[in-house]
A and B are shown apart, each in its own frame.
Chain A
Amino acid sequence: SQQGEEDPQALSIQEGENATMNCSYKTSINNLQWYRQNSGRGLVHLILIRSNEREKHSGRLRVTLDTSKKSSSLLITASRAADTASYFCATSQSTGANSKLTFGKGITLSVRP
């Protein structure tokens, strides 16, 4: 079953606007991560938030985590055309060497110049 479920599944915004993407999950987690994927390419790690954290910032990225609601959001401020990509949330239930990531279905973000 899908652990992470992002919404919306597709988002189209104008350059300069903020983009907010949400992710919900079902089981308890150790951490939640957001990744970006350009078409036909591998994934790039954006940001990680631990289960005991509520908010984290990295440049134009802001991620929140609400473990009571089992949800997270990724905010990209002042979006640029280069932000156009697919974004995935992924959860991990442990920190051990073999801990697996479970990915959501992804959100396709289009930023219009």
Chain B
Amino acid sequence: GAVVSQHPSRVICKSGTSVKIECRSLDFQATTMFWYRQFPKKSLMLMATSNEGSKATYEQGVEKDKFLINHASLTLSTLTVTSAHPEDSSFYICSARDWRTNYGYTFGSGTRLTVV
């Protein structure tokens, strides 16, 4: 089945630094990937839709300069949290659609970001 690999699984960084999270589709091409943020015991909040070769589409209230998304190839999308602050600490999850699986979305295993 479709596999989406997300790295790193955990990262701790200092305030003011930037952190890059990678999301790769391993056995299929993903023209579209999605980035979500999840707070403890809460639902997933869609942050942005990443489109290969074009600019990402951000949801209302999500700062595009804060959360930089790059989708340079059909198998890789990256989310960079710039100038991280403690309030950016969260669980970030990416997903991609594999058109072979009849509308189902495949999710990465998530990245736990802690900003200290």
Bound pair (A, B)? yes
With a cutoff of 8 Å between Cβ atoms, the chain A residues found around residue B91 in the complex are 40
Interface contact A45-B6, CB-CB below 8 Å: no
Count, chain A residues at interface, CB 8 A: 24
Interface contact B43-A88, CB-CB below 8 Å: yes
Interface contact A40-B44, CB-CB below 8 Å: no
Count, chain B residues at interface, CB 8 A: 28
Closest to A5 in B: B43
* Interface residue ranges, B against A (CB under 8 Å): 4, 6, 31-32, 34, 41-44, 46, 49, 51, 57, 91, 93, 95, 97, 101-110, 112
* Interface residue ranges, A against B (CB under 8 Å): 2, 31, 33, 35, 40-45, 48, 88, 92, 95, 97-98, 100-106, 108
Interface contact B103-A48, CB-CB below 8 Å: yes
Interface contact A97-B106, CB-CB below 8 Å: no
Interface contact A97-B105, CB-CB below 8 Å: no
Interface contact B105-A101, CB-CB below 8 Å: yes
